[in-house]
Amino acid sequence: MEKVTEISSLGEFGLIDRLTRDFPLRNASSILGVGDDAAILDYHDHKTLVTTDLLLEGIHFDLRYVPLRHLGYKSAIVNFSDIYAMNGHPRQITVSLGISSRFTVEHIDELYDGIRLACQEYGVDLVGGDTSASVTGLVISITCIGEGEEGKIVRRSGAKPTDLIYVSGDLGAAYMGLQLLERENRVAAQSPDNKFFEPDFTGKEYILERQLKPEARRDIVDMFAQYDILPTAMMDVSDGLSSELLHICKASGVGCRLYEDRIPIDYQTAIMAEEFNMNLVTAALNGGEDYELLFTVPLAMKDKVDMLKGIRMIGYITKPELGAALVTRDDQELPLKAQGWNAFNH
Amino acid sequence: MEKVTEISSLGEFGLIDRLTRDFPLRNASSILGVGDDAAILDYHDHKTLVTTDLLLEGIHFDLRYVPLRHLGYKSAIVNFSDIYAMNGHPRQITVSLGISSRFTVEHIDELYDGIRLACQEYGVDLVGGDTSASVTGLVISITCIGEGEEGKIVRRSGAKPTDLIYVSGDLGAAYMGLQLLERENRVAAQSPDNKFFEPDFTGKEYILERQLKPEARRDIVDMFAQYDILPTAMMDVSDGLSSELLHICKASGVGCRLYEDRIPIDYQTAIMAEEFNMNLVTAALNGGEDYELLFTVPLAMKDKVDMLKGIRMIGYITKPELGAALVTRDDQELPLKAQGWNAFNH
C-alpha cells in the first residue's frame, strides 16, 4: 500500500522543511534561500527581472488528467518562459501553495518532484514561499526572479515598422493535447468499467507532451547571445499567437501582417484538428499554452536570424494605421482578433 | 444604487489595466512595472530581498468582518514587514488574485484601494501580477522585493549567547481584536434583526486596528540606521512571540530566557483578555499577527539600544544546552513552546 501521511501530522514548518530540503542553491546570485523572512539575492550590475503566475485548480488545471508531477513542472516552466521572453535568465523562484484537506504529504511531494526537476533542468533555485491550508482545491502561486544584461533586455514595446516577426517551434499542439485529454476524460467517465479504461495515445505523444510537460525556450535565448542577435520586441506565447501579437502591436504602437500559410504547425496537431473537426489555423492562432517565443527583428538582420534553427518568419510589422491583419492563403486580409484564453469566461 | 460591474465585462486585461493604472512607480530601482512578461528592477550594488505570502479566504481572512480595503492594506503590510525584518526596505510588489464569481469589479477596486494606500505610505511600487477567476473564494498572493545594504542585512541565524532580546510595540492585541470581531459576528448572526445590528467598539479601537489595519515597523529599521545599530538576529512577529523566538534559537543554535513580566501588553489587550476569560500571557505569547520586530543585540550595545523609543528588552540569549524557557513572575522556568497559529490545524 502506498504511504499516506496527513499534512496536519507534519505541521506547516515540518511540511516546508520536507518540501524544500532537496533544493540546493545553484546560482551565485542566490545568497540566502528558504528559511528566513526573505531570500537574499545579489545581481551585481545586472538587472533583476520578476514575474509571477497564479494557478488554481478547476480554472487552470484539472487533476483528473494532469499528474501532480507534471503540474509542478509546468507551474515552474510557465514562469521561466516569462523571463526568457525578456531575453533574460531565470535564477530563483518562490513557491506558495494552498492545499485542501484531500491532499496528503505524498501528493505534495509529487508536485514538488516536478518543481525540483524543472529547477534542475533550468538551473533555478527555490528560495522561498508560503504554505497554507485551503478550503477547496489546490492553489499554486509561483514568482520567478531572473537576471538580464543591461541593454539586452527585450520588452514588448520595441517593434518598428518593417521589422520581421518570428516565432519559435510550432503552435496549437498544447491546445489540441488539452482537447484530447478532455475527450478521453469524458469517455472514461462514461465507461462502465472505467477503472480499467486505458486510453490509447499512440501517435499522439507530441501533443500530449506539449500540454502536460511544456518546455521554456532557453535555447532560443542562448542562440541570441551566441550569434549576437537582439530582438526589438519579444513575448512568450501563453494566451495564443493572435493575442500576443496584438499585445506587441499595442505596446509598440504599430500594426502587423501575419501570413496564415507561414504559421508553424506540427503534423500531429493537424491530424488531431481534423479528428475533432476543428479549424486548424484557429487552433494555432488562439490555442495558447505553447510557451514558444514570438519576437521581432529589424529587416537588416534577416540573413543572420534565418540561420537560427527552429524558428520561422511569420510576418512583418507595419505602420499603426494599417492595423493588425492575418493574410490568408488566398491573399485576403482579415483583421486579427484575440480570442485568447480568458480565465474569466472559462 | 452602488455601481456593480461584472468582472467578465472587462475581461482579464481590462481588469488588470483598471486595477494597475493608479500605481505610479516611485523607486529608482523600478525600471519597468506592470505590462510586460516580467518587471525590470535595478539595485546596483545593494542586495535584493524577496518574500511572498498567500492569503486564502476562509483560512486567513473572513470577509464577514474584514472590509476588502483593510484586507488589501494588510496583505501588502505583512509582506513589507518581512522585508523590514531583514533590516531592508520594501521597494516593489507583485499582486496575484484569484477571484470567484461573487465578486464585482467594485469589490476588487476596494481591495486595490487598500493595496494602493499601503504602497503610498511605504513608498512601494506595484510592478506585476496575475489575475484569474477562481472556483471558490478570493485568493491573494503577494510577492515583495526589497533591498538591503551589503553587510547590514539581518538574518535569523546570528544570535549569540549573552545577546539581549528586544521586541517593538506590544503583543497580543491583534489576536484579541480577532476574538472580538469573531464574537460580534456570532452575536450578529444570532440577532433576529441583524441588519440593524451595530456593535459598540468604543474603547476597543486599538485592538481592532491592530487586527484590521496593522502597520509594518519601518520606523524601527530607520532608527537602526540613524543610530548605527545592527541587530545580530531579527524576525517579525507574525505567528506569535514563542514561535518566532524558537525560530531564532533554532536558526542561531542557541537557547534563551524570556521574562514573562517584561512582555509588552497594551491596556486594551489586558481588558479584553479578562472579558474573554483568557490567559493574557498565553495570548501575548501565541497570538500572532502583531507584525512587531523581534531582535537580538550584543550586550555591549545595551545603553545605545535602550535609548530607542517603542522597544523593550524582554530576555537574553543563552548557550544552546540551556534550552528555551519562559521565566515566570515567580521565577520559575517553563519550557517555551510554539503554539503559534498553524494554518493546517485551523
Q: Report yes or no: B128 at the A interface, CB cutoff 8 Å.
A: yes
Beta bridge partners of A68: none
Q: Which residues of A12-42 are buried (b: 16+ CB within 10 A; e: fewer)?
A: bbebbeebbeebebebebbbbbbbbbbbbbb
Q: Quote the pTM value.
A: 0.91
End-to-end CA distance of chain A, in Å?
38
Q: Which of residues 47-66 of A touch B (CB under 8 A)?
A: 47-54, 56-60
On whether any CB of chain B is under 8 Å from the CB of A11, the answer is yes
Q: Is A92 on the interface with B (CB under 8 A)?
A: yes
DSSP for A124-149 reads -EEEEEEEEE-SSS-EEEEEEEEEE-
- A83 reaches B (C-beta below 8 A): yes
Q: Are A41 and B56 in contact (CB < 8 Å)?
A: no
Residues of chain A in contact with residue B133, where contact means CB-CB under 8 angstroms, are 56, 59, 343-344, 346
> B295 - beta bridge partners?
B166, B234
- Picking from B47, B52, B143, the nearest residue to A31 by CB comes out as B47
In angstroms, rounded to a whole number, what is the distance separating the alpha carbons of residues B98 and B282? 35
CA distance B203 to chain A (A): 34
Q: What is the ipTM of this complex?
A: 0.89
Q: What distance in Å separates the CA atoms of residue B261 and residue B266, rounded to the nearest whole number?
A: 13
Residues B229-262: tens digit of each pLDDT: 999 999 999 989 999 999 999 999 999 999 999 9
Bridge-based pairing of strands B125-133 and B89-99 is parallel
Place of cell 467578465: B8
Partners of residue B45 in chain A, C-beta under 8 Å: 44
Cβ of A50 within 8 Å of Cβ of B96? The answer is no
Please report the beta strands in A211-292, taking only residues with DSSP state E, as ranges in sequence order: 233-236, 255-259
With CB atoms and an 8 Å threshold, state whether B343 touches A133. Answer: yes
The nearest CA of chain B is from the CA of A101 a distance in Å of: 9
Q: Are A48 and B145 an interchain contact pair (Cβ–Cβ within 8 Å)?
A: yes
If you ran DSSP here, which 8-state letter would residue B137 be given? Answer: S
Residue A191: CB atoms within 10 Å: 11
* Residue B43 to residue A38, Cβ atoms within 8 A: no
Please tell me the distance in Å from B339's CA to the nearest CA on chain A: 11
pLDDT in tens, chain B (346 residues): 578 888 778 877 787 788 888 788 888 888 887 877 788 888 777 889 999 999 999 999 999 989 999 999 999 999 999 999 999 999 999 999 999 989 998 999 999 999 999 999 999 999 988 888 898 899 999 999 999 988 899 999 999 999 999 999 999 999 999 999 999 888 887 776 655 556 778 889 999 999 999 999 999 999 999 999 999 999 999 989 999 999 999 999 999 999 999 999 999 999 999 999 999 999 999 988 999 999 999 999 999 999 999 999 999 999 999 999 999 999 999 999 877 545 454 3
Please list every residue in chain A whose beta carbon sits closer than 8 Å to the beta carbon of residue B92.
Answer: 50
Which A residues, 17 through 36, put their C-beta within 8 Å of a C-beta on chain B?
31-32, 35-36
CB nearest B137 (choices: A32, A59, A135): A135
Q: Within an 8 Å CB–CB cutoff, is residue B12 touching chain A?
A: yes
B156 touches chain A (CB under 8 A): yes
A 10 A CB-CB count for A127 gives 31
Torsions phi, psi for A298 (to 5 deg): -65, 145
Tell whether B98 lies on the interface with A, counting CB pairs under 8 A: yes
**Residue among B50, B128, B235 minimizing CB distance to A94:** B50
pLDDT tens for chain A, 346 residues long, are 578 888 778 877 787 788 888 788 888 888 887 877 788 888 777 889 999 999 999 999 999 989 999 999 999 999 999 999 999 999 999 999 999 989 998 999 999 999 999 999 999 999 988 888 898 899 999 999 999 988 899 999 999 999 999 999 999 999 999 999 999 888 887 776 655 556 778 889 999 999 999 999 999 999 999 999 999 999 999 989 999 999 999 999 999 999 999 999 999 999 999 999 999 999 999 988 999 999 999 999 999 999 999 999 999 999 999 999 999 999 999 999 877 545 454 3
Nearest to B130 among A43, A49, A53 (CB): A53
Residues of B in contact with A96 (CB under 8 A): 52-54, 141
Q: What is the pLDDT of residue A136?
A: 80
Residue A221 burial (CB < 10 Å; 0-12/13-18/19+)? buried
